[in-house]
Structure 1
């Protein structure tokens, strides 16, 4: 690989044999090196090949201002998240998360703490991402000696949630709005039935999962009622469920009114069934 740009002793931009632009990092990787020289690949510890051009350019700008130690740590956090979540993450997360953690560390050292007003909802609805955020705080303390507040676990989780990429199209979700709406729907169910929901039950977990995917479909506008294409079987099943689970169906209609959209019969069916299951545990 040929060195094209040197950020510091530990980070460079290089071109490989396939003429791809790569950010390479390693302790002393660029020490006493010059642009145009061949990079000693034995010193490479991490490489970044960002497919999205804008993300790549922003990441290179970030390297000029952020310590390579922090960049390297954020890389490890993102790779750790990819393995645990088993999802594809948008390239831009390398920029957004690194920038956020760098600023959080600066604020902490200056005696300032930022709060996360929806940390409770994140912990509740995005438990995997939140657990990764907690682990990230441990990594930061171990590697950098900086103890960030627990609210930062929620902020890190938000970056991971926003970076999750749908297989058919890239959608950055408005997570704050989504979590509020999920909580509102749960409250509609609670107040309608005048009960406390068992948040540790499998039916509760499945209901939350259904709502999360529902809002993904909503963002892609796949939720509108389409009478011409609906199957007769769905109409029949919905009518049966409507008769059998009158309270759950009535509650579903309240949810539909709250959402201010007309749901398809299929969505009405599944929402009613989930409400029925989550209220009988």
Structure 2
């Protein structure tokens, strides 16, 4: 939450030099962040919210407990850097992020950097699909990674950029990291079904592949929300005859999505999938995007 009307708050607990908990007339407990804001401060003292760089509320009790525990375990210099990192993301995107990113991204990066320091390799098999699905967030994650490398004097592998992207998208969309990870895994498996069934390797650099990835994410959005406004079933009979192979693969993919999402998928989706598959298949086999 951005700073609101100027006012005096009562300090409830000093967490470290850069963070403290204060009593707020509307939100009960709030966390104030700012360099040196907790230095020489004591519980019971008054403080102006204008002294803080950021004020936020973790309404979920479990999330609040996680954040407080994290503050005890993580070096406060790193906490300060991460607060700056989150402000960096908000400035680049021009929007406020869901406040759970203070817990999720800080905890994730602290653990990731510890693994790197111990020589553990970070692998993200879905990085490319993440980049195609969330290009704006990925670009910001790349810039953030470069900034963090300078601030922390560490080399961060490109695969980690994909994980940071998911945290950023989660804070924008309010979708959980678990759901985003599951969705990315589903998309990756759908690509594998397409490639294995078509017996081709799809060109990841081709714009039609990028469109296919985005279509799959849009499909999952429609399926999960139940909002189907397009009706392309009038093409179904034509595609079933003219693009029989891709039509059958489209249904194989639909059955996989139905199993994973436990939701019925309208037949119209088979039309869109068939068109994308046929275009990709033609490019892989003959170098032309002409469909059927």
TM range (shorter): 0.7 to 0.9
Paired residue for 2:73? 65
Q: Deviations over 1:231-257 (max 9, x none)?
A: 9x6443322443444343233133235
1:128 CA drift (Å): 4.1
Contact 1:116 1:154 in 2 (8 A): no
2:90 touches 2:96 (CA, 8 Å); kept in 1? Answer: yes
Distance 1:162 1:274 in 2: 27
Give yes or no for contact 1:29–1:40 (8 Å, CA) kept in 2.
no
State whether residues 9 and 27 of structure 1, in contact with CA within 8 Å, keep that contact through their aligned partners in structure 2: yes
- Aligned partner of 1:184 in structure 2 is 189
Partners of 2:215 and 2:16 in 1: how far apart?
Answer: 47
TM-score, normalised relative to structure 2: 0.73
Q: 1:25 to 1:177 in 2, by over 3 A?
A: closer
Residue 151 to residue 51, structure 1, CA distance change in 2 (3 Å): same
Deviation at 1:71, TM superposition (A): 2.2
Q: Which runs of 5+ in 1 are unaligned?
A: 224-228
**Matches of 1:151 and 1:183 in 2, distance apart?**
15
Q: For the Cα contact (< 8 Å) 1:118–1:176, is it kept in 2?
A: no
Matches of residues 1-281 of structure 1 in structure 2 within 5 Å? 1-18=9-26, 20-82=28-90, 90-109=98-117, 111-118=118-125, 120-121=127-128, 122-123=130-131, 125-163=133-171, 165=173, 170-218=175-223, 220=224, 222=226, 234-259=232-257, 261=259, 263-280=265-282, 281=289
Deviations 1:151-201 (A, max 9, x none): 4323323433555536xxx55544555434323332443344444434334
The Cα offsets for residues 35-90 of structure 1, whole Å up to 9 and x where unpaired, read as 12121545422322334333233222322222333223323433444565678855
**8 A contact 1:133–1:152 mirrored in 2:** no
SS at match of 1:6: strand
> Contact conserved, 1:113 with 1:149, CA < 8 A, in 2?
no
Shift of 1:230: 10
RMSD between aligned alpha carbons?
Answer: 3.5
What is the alpha-carbon distance in structure 2 between the residues aligned to residue 50 and residue 230 of structure 1?
A: 37
SS at match of 1:239: helix
TM-score (norm 1): 0.76
Distance 2:145 2:229 in 1: 48
Task: Kindly indicate whether the alpha-carbon contact (under 8 Å) linking 2:194 and 2:277 is maintained by their aligned counterparts in 1.
Answer: yes
| Contact 2:19–2:37 (CA under 8 A) maintained in structure 1 | yes
What is the rounded CA distance, in whole Å, between the counterparts of 1:277 and 1:82 in structure 2?
A: 38
**Structure 2, unpaired ranges of 5+:** 1-8, 283-288
Q: Secondary structure at the match of 2:173?
A: coil
